[in-house]
Amino acid sequence: MTRLVPWCVGLLFTLVAIPASAKVQCSCPNISADGEGNTSCSASESGRLCTIDFNLFGPESEKRAAELLARFGKVNLKPPEPGASAVEWLSSSPPEQLIDAVLIYMTVAAGDQNARAPDSVPLGSLFELVDAVRKDSLRTRILDAFSRGAQEKWSTQSDEGLRRSPIPSENIGAAIVSPGCVEFRTTAGLWMMFKASWSPARVTQGCRSKRDDAKY
């Protein structure tokens, strides 16, 4: 089920195989809104609105995200195969396709919000996201964070065990990266996150053990 509070729009779709006890937590950093589901999530915050979307995101949402990235991010990306979960698509993707998929999944919630509340999302910020993700430092870290090896390592961990240990994470410029999770904030204030269902960060609201947005 999805739990929503004011200023949050959330969608729940088909279940993805993760540990039986696992529930993926997602929230926005500053707006009092969060959601909980059994699948990967895309989240966005801007214009006093928070949107949280749980995978399967749906072909329309993924197509919309790819179109926005083409128009405002100046990059042409291939949307994931219709009906494929984020875990399935990422685990079978070669490096460049994996990066494209992460960019699309990060943009899903922003695209959903823009469709419902036009002008609430600074879409010009998408070029900033694309530029950062294509640079070697962040690109390499994302490839490692969403690799099959990372998935195999973390997908079998229990939620209880994850809560007892700090989640490995790293700040890279305007991004926070941990296994299976990436957050990014643009200079215009657009915040985006994609979190895979197997990520150890599924037990926390963001990509790291404890959120300290005053430093982010």
Instruction: With respect to residue 87, please indicate whether it lies within any of the assigned structural domains.
Output: yes
**Rounded to the nearest 10 degrees, how much is the dihedral formed by the CA atoms of 91, 96, 102, 105?**
-90
* Rounded Cα–Cα distance for residues 168 and 3 (Å): 26
Is residue 128 over pLDDT 80? yes
Q: What is the identity of the amino acid at 51? A: T
Instruction: With respect to residue 169, please indicate whether it lies within any of the assigned structural domains.
Output: yes
Instruction: With respect to residue 2, please indicate whether it lies within any of the assigned structural domains.
Output: no
Helices H / strands E in the chain, number of each = 7, 9
Instruction: With respect to residue 91, please indicate whether it lies within any of the assigned structural domains.
Output: yes
Instruction: With respect to residue 1, please indicate whether it lies within any of the assigned structural domains.
Output: no
Instruction: With respect to residue 66, please indicate whether it lies within any of the assigned structural domains.
Output: yes
DSSP tag of 120: S
* Residue 21, Cβ density class (10 Å: 0-12 exposed, 13-18 middle, ≥19 buried): exposed
Range of the domain at 52: 8-215
Instruction: With respect to residue 155, please indicate whether it lies within any of the assigned structural domains.
Output: yes
Phi, psi of 170 (to 5 degrees): -145, 135
Total of domains in the chain: 1
Percent of the chain with pLDDT over 90: 65
- Taking the model in full, what pTM does it have? 0.85
Confidence category of residue 22, pLDDT binned at 50, 70, 90: low
